[in-house]
Chain A
Amino acid sequence: MRAASLKLLALQVLVAVVAIGIWHVGSSVPIAGKYFLPEFFFSTPLDVFQRVVKLFVSGEIWRHLWITLTETLLAFVIGSAGGVAIGFWFARQPLIAAVFDPYVKMVNALPRVVLAPIFMLWLGLGIWSKVALGVTLVFFVVFFNVYQGVKEVSPVVLSNARMMGMTERQLFRHVYWPSALSWMFSSLHTSVGFALVGAVVGEYLGSAAGLGYLIHEAEGVFDVTGVFAGMFILSAFVLVIDWLVTLVERRLLVWRPQAAVGQT
């Protein structure tokens, strides 16, 4: 078990080494007098690395990370709360669900990026326009999952709880609620990811801080090194968040068979 995971890690590192190696050779070693990956378009791994280090050493990055993280968390919390509430409401009131069905589908089908300018107009260039964009993404993921979760409570579990003497309130607390939450948590990776997408895309389209802003700014002056450094930090940031989500998920879905949670 231990040896197998070490081997896996070694192979994963190997992929990174090979990719960076190709990038390095292509950008700094001329082949037949030509650079395979010209520095102007692709920068070099060393430059990108130095830029990342500089961003962290100068402390400039922390402000941007903090802004992006705040936006992501706010979008996630508000979007989830709304999704849970409306999902529950619709699942328990089929008439309401039927009335709003076409509108929900319509809004969900809309590419969220087109909403960004409107949110900026309404909420300004600060964090709230980014939060709003994230919320429109997170809301629907959570909403559909909770709706499904409440609808698909096992009828046997429900009958059993009723025979046990549960009141409607107790059914809500002990049956509907955990079932809906379990569906929501199983989409945690997707919804947190969407919250981040909302934040970064919002920043990219217009802001004065955040990772998206950093990348956009570098792009504006053809600073490819800056773009790559921003992308690298963004990916690392996503990995850390994803890892945290996995920890939370494992804690919350401990009652689920392992296969459904994902094995590591």
Chain B
Amino acid sequence: MEMAARREPSRPSAEPESAATAVRLDGVKVSFVIRGAAVFDAVAPTSFEVREGEFVSIVGPTGCGKSTLLNVTAGLLKPSAGHVEIFGERLAGLNRKSGYLFQQDALMPWKTALDNVAIALEVHGTPRKEALEAARGWMGRVGLARFCERYAHELSGGQRKRVGLAQVLIRRPRILLMDEPFGPLDAQTRQIMGNLLLGLWAEDRKAVMFVTHDLEEAIALSDRVVIMSAGPDARVIGDHPIDLARPRDAAEIRLDPKFHALHKRIWDQLREEVAKTYEEGAR
């Protein structure tokens, strides 16, 4: 809540003020019980929102609970306190309005790439023929038209991510949740994937929650970068609007002086806060 209040005035006026709130986390806290006894507060009460059409990255050191927050937003994990609102409705159970691109491989290995994409429509009642046709279209859009009949193990890591992206986007979810989706890829592939993602996103501007530990990637892609402190008791320690012009090239934007200024400003805060968090942890 505190973050939302702080962010509101500094919001760039690029988007209309009327844009609806897609995701609102209200005092969400997550605790895990470890070995039946000790309670471990992974995430301290956290509040923030993602507006419709907004691309928000969540950045923080490994193990800070970024993915946990994403799982809460997806409805895969129930918060210990607080609640999640999706387009103004309180979330109960799975978040049906969102698509989730996982960090690990989540394709069904026994289905071909095409079937993996088509199944996302089929489970909602689309006839198989139509679903396959749509899936073929999406395979083309992620640049894998010639790889439809491949199985997951016959694709490279980057190709598997593309299939995963097609699988998520074919359902046209209004919210896109991404958990370090390009984490295991090499630097070049990451930038290519970043551009692919930006291109697809620009078509209908979904609300995006993008978790990453790579600050540069976050700035290159997002409208806003949210910084989280290291866990346990992780919390939001910074919220920075990124007012770089769109459309962007995820690789070339990194050479922009404005990008450097933003990177420096955010990194200075991040470093300071992270150092503080470590000191607190050490005490």
Would you call the interface of chain A mostly helix, strand, loop, or mixed?
helix
Residues of chain B contacted by A159 (CB below 8 angstroms): 76, 100, 102, 106
Residues of chain B contacted by A163 (CB below 8 angstroms): 74, 76, 94-95, 98-100
A153-189 contact mask (Cβ, 8 Å, vs B): 1 or 0: 0101101111111110010001100110010000000
Residues of chain B contacted by A165 (CB below 8 angstroms): 94, 96, 120, 123-124, 171
A206 to B201, CA, bound (A): 73
Given contacts A163-B76, A164-B167, A255-B111, 9 further A-B contacts (CB under 8 A): A154-B104, A154-B106, A159-B102, A160-B100, A160-B102, A163-B100, A170-B123, A255-B152, A256-B109
Closest Cβ neighbor of A171 among chain B residues: B123
Known: A164-B171, A165-B96, A165-B171. A157 touches B107 (CB 8 A): yes
A163 to B74, CA, bound (A): 8
A182 to B110, CA, bound (A): 9
Is the CB of B151 closer than 8 A to any CB of chain A? yes
Is the CB of A102 closer than 8 A to any CB of chain B? no
**Mind listing 24 A-B residue pairs with CB under 8 Å?**
A156-B105, A156-B106, A157-B107, A157-B109, A159-B106, A160-B100, A160-B102, A160-B106, A160-B167, A163-B76, A163-B94, A163-B99, A164-B123, A164-B167, A165-B96, A165-B124, A166-B123, A170-B123, A178-B108, A178-B111, A179-B110, A182-B110, A254-B151, A255-B152
Q: How far is the CB of B184 from chain A (nearest CB, A)?
A: 13
Is the CB of A220 closer than 8 A to any CB of chain B? no
Q: How far is the CB of B246 from chain A (nearest CB, A)?
A: 28
> Which residues in B have some Cβ–Cβ distance to A below 8 Å?
74, 76, 94-96, 98-100, 102, 104-112, 119-120, 123-124, 151-153, 167, 171
Select one of B104, B105, B120, B152 contacting A164, CB under 8 A: B120
Whether the Cβ atoms of A162 and B110 lie closer than 8 Å is no
Is the CB of A33 closer than 8 A to any CB of chain B? no
A81 to B104, CA, bound (A): 33
Residues of chain A contacted by B111 (CB below 8 angstroms): 174, 178, 255
- In order of increasing CB-CB distance, the 6 nearest A-B pairs are A160-B106, A255-B151, A178-B110, A163-B100, A257-B153, A156-B104
Select one of B98, B104, B109, B167 contacting A255, CB under 8 A: B109
Closest Cβ neighbor of B109 among chain A residues: A255
Whether the Cβ atoms of B124 and A157 lie closer than 8 Å is no
Closest Cβ neighbor of A163 among chain B residues: B100
Residues of chain A contacted by B110 (CB below 8 angstroms): 178-179, 182, 255
A129-170 contact mask (Cβ, 8 Å, vs B): 1 or 0: 000000000000000000000000010110111111111001
